Amino acid sequence: MASEKSTLDGLRIDRTAAPEAGKGRLGWILGFILLLVAAGGVFAWLRMPRAAEVRVASVRERPGSTAGTVLNASGYVTARRQATVSSKTTGKVTEIFVEEGMVVREGQILARLDDSILAKELSLGEARLAAQRGSLEETEVRLREAEINLRRARSLREQGVAPQADLDTAEAQVNSLKARLDLGRQEIAVAERELALNRQYLDDTVIRAPFSGVAISKDAQPGEMISPVSAGGGFTRTGICTIVDMASLEIEVDVNEAYIQRVQPGQRTMATLDAYPDWQIPSRVIMPVPTADRQKATVRVRIGFEALDPRILPDMGVKVAFLDKEGEAAAAERPKAALVVPRKALRKDGDRDVVFVVKDGLVERRAVGVGPTPGEEAVVTSGLTSGEQVVVEGPADLADGAKVAVQSK
């Protein structure tokens, strides 16, 4: 019986392995489906349009622009009276009494040079002059004695006591001493002039301010050599300091020669320093310099401030708005602010100027009005408001409504 039962158990089907095989096939099917879904997502992501990378700039107000502006230009504050103070002779600096920013008066001592040799030469000249004056006094005494002898010889000759030879000798002695006296006086005059020259050389070792102003640089230190001309390579200085007369400050701008007819002497202008963009400075055209720069095709224009201010410094950048009659009247009352954008933000669509305004990651194509403003900035008369962001760099095929990603500067 036992063997018969074993035979029957061997014919029985084992159903425990079937569920394990089914589970394996189901996992492979689910993995394949997930792979297809992931591939579809990647394909869809690749087909999605990407945001264009752009650079933007803000629309800002420029108070320096007023109604009635016929021209805008940029330039720098310059000083009509500025000098790098040097010495008349080559020498070693021993003392300096000036620092940057110091206010100096005309004639004030700025530095001293080594004067030891010149002082000795002056003493030698004084001693030589004293000796020549003593020699002249001796000659004068001998001349008086000779004149007495001459009178005595003439009297004896008239009496017939002395021979003619004695009289001739006395006369020759007097004439000789007179000639020596004249020569001595000339030598004293020469010595006095040499002494004056030595005094001038000694005085030249003291460097003084040629005019009143402010020292903007200190170019030498005690112990250095200084010379009025370049000598000795980099070891010789050519100046002690640079002085600027702050009362002579004015503006110089370069105006394109195509617009120079809009500039007239005495024309009112409004200046705005780059350092103080909200400060408008009334000014007037002094005159256009009557020559043009053939390389840049520009004409230099001098502009004077109507009132100076301590905040105005040499070499500051400045923007100038040239006004017409209407602008002068408006500027006299209250300047009208203008909106400006970088000129490279403007694009052409036929005859119209357009810009792309960025908002919430999208761009909006917008037509704008632009005033006559040569330069790197354009005055916008319509179509924009202050603070909006406009595209200054981006794809040439940028379209209205396109997605953009703003790049950091």
236/361 same-domain check: no
Say yes or no: 174 and 223 in one domain.
no
Greatest mean pLDDT range, 42-51, 195-204, 322-331, 347-356: 195-204
The answer to whether 220 and 96 have CB atoms below 8 angstroms apart is: yes
- The CATH number covering residue 299 comes to 2.40.30.170
Looking at the fold, whether 227 and 104 belong to one and the same domain comes out as yes
* Residue where a domain terminates, one of 335, 353, 369: 335
Claim to verify: residue 273 and residue 218 sit in the same structural domain: no
pLDDT at 265 over 90: yes
- One domain for residues 170 and 135: yes
* 105/214 same-domain check: yes
Confidence at 43, pLDDT banded by 50, 70, 90: low
For 11, counting Cβ atoms within 10 Å of its Cβ (0-12 exposed, 13-18 middle, 19+ buried), the class is exposed
Name the residue range of residue 232's domain. Answer: 82-114+205-244
- Check residue 341 and give its pLDDT: 86
Q: How far is CA 274 from the centre of its chain?
A: 14
Rounded CA-CA distance 304/318 in Å is 13
Predicted confidence at residue 367, as pLDDT, reads: 87
Task: Say which CATH number the domain at 174 has.
Answer: 1.20.120
Categorize the per-residue pLDDT at 396 as very low, low, confident or very high, splitting at 50, 70 and 90. confident
Round to whole Å and give the CA distance between 252 and 301. Answer: 6
CATH number of the domain to which 98 belongs: 2.40.50.100
Would you place residue 77 in the very low, low, confident or very high pLDDT band (cuts 50, 70, 90)? very high
- Do 91 and 101 lie in one domain? The reply is yes
Token code pair at residue 304: 């004077």
- Among left, alpha and beta (phi > 0; psi -120 to 50; other), residue 387 is left
Summarize pLDDT for 303-360 with one digit per residue, the tens: 999 999 999 999 999 999 998 765 555 455 444 567 888 888 888 888 788 899 998 8
Average pLDDT for residues 247-251, to the nearest whole number? Answer: 95
With beta carbons less than 8 A apart as the criterion, state whether 132 and 180 touch: no
Q: What pLDDT does residue 241 have?
A: 93
Task: Provide the percentage of residues in the chain whose pLDDT is more than 90.
Answer: 41
Q: Are residues 110 and 221 in the same domain?
A: yes
Last residue of a domain, one of 218, 244, 270: 244
Instruction: Give 236 or 76, the one with higher predicted confidence.
Output: 76
Q: Are residues 59 and 131 in the same domain?
A: no
Residue where a domain stops, chosen among 335, 359, 392: 335
Tally of structural domains, the chain: 4
The residues facing 108 across adjacent strands are: none
Q: What is the pLDDT of residues 96-145, one digit of tens each?
A: 999 999 999 999 999 999 999 999 999 999 999 999 999 889 889 989 99
Cα 37 to its chain centre, rounded Å, is: 66
